[in-house]
A = this chain, B = another copy of it.
């Protein structure tokens, strides 16, 4: 594996799930696989789970890791080709990525979308430039449009709770929020579920919140949340802003917050969320604190997702 920015970089999802569960059983299964290797974690944005779980994953493989809070600790970066740099940005990604590629064997990058320039965001300008100019393997710690380590952890979590003898019904439901939120977790979850084939995916959201079809194609899509939730096995709760009216908030989402009552026709439903979650806005706190919740398992599985990804990249580096 030469990079990890979407599900398509994984050679075989089934095998990756098996490997992730093996690391969960025994975190030090490949404790020397990364010996003498160094991973750089570059954060343009805040992070808790990603920041911690990827450091832990690296060290479980014997890799050294160094965190750089770009912006706060480093220099403000320019991403536009040919820019005349007479403004705020101090260093061009061409130069910075080249340097970081010399210093590290693997580069991990966290970057958020602008939410006002669809072409820049959906062109994945930042992570693409890191890939182009650093030369070394790049791992997405969440990019403008996707969050593959989260989706991998989500897939591990579902795989641990599969019903016997049938495909589970997985529902991705839009939830209210107080501000405009990126599409990446929703895009990425849809992409992974559609790719996986072990589940049936339904997506529900208010009108106007249609996601980019390249990720949702194959899913059942409805504006009727009650219908979507009926008989659900897994309910992934997430807000996102509009894709077509790019980055806009179209409704206050009254009635879309998930509660125990929303699940009256889904007795088996388990609740998922990538965290951080706004309690009593996106989701009732009581649901999060109930036996239905898988959010802590998802967060825990972030370590094994990252460790599996690093392990596959290391195999490629050493080959």
Contacts and interface: CB of A to CB of B under 8 A. Distances in A.
A224 interface: no
Interface in A159-198: 178
Interface string A275-300: 11111110001001100000110011
Contacts of A288: 94-95
A74 interface: yes
B296 A98 contact: yes
B52 A86 contact: no
A69 B73 contact: yes
Interface in A86-145: 86-87, 90-92, 94-96, 98-100, 102-103
A140 B75 CA distance: 19
Interface residues of A, number: 58
B72 A52 contact: no
A276 B52 contact: no
17 contacts: A47-B74, A48-B99, A51-B68, A52-B66, A52-B100, A52-B103, A59-B64, A90-B276, A92-B276, A92-B279, A95-B288, A96-B275, A98-B299, A99-B296, A99-B299, A103-B300, A103-B303
Interface of A: 28, 36, 38, 40, 43, 46-49, 51-53, 55-56, 59, 64, 66, 68-70, 72-75, 78, 82-87, 90-92, 94-96, 98-100, 102-103, 178, 275-281, 285, 288-289, 295-296, 299-300, 303
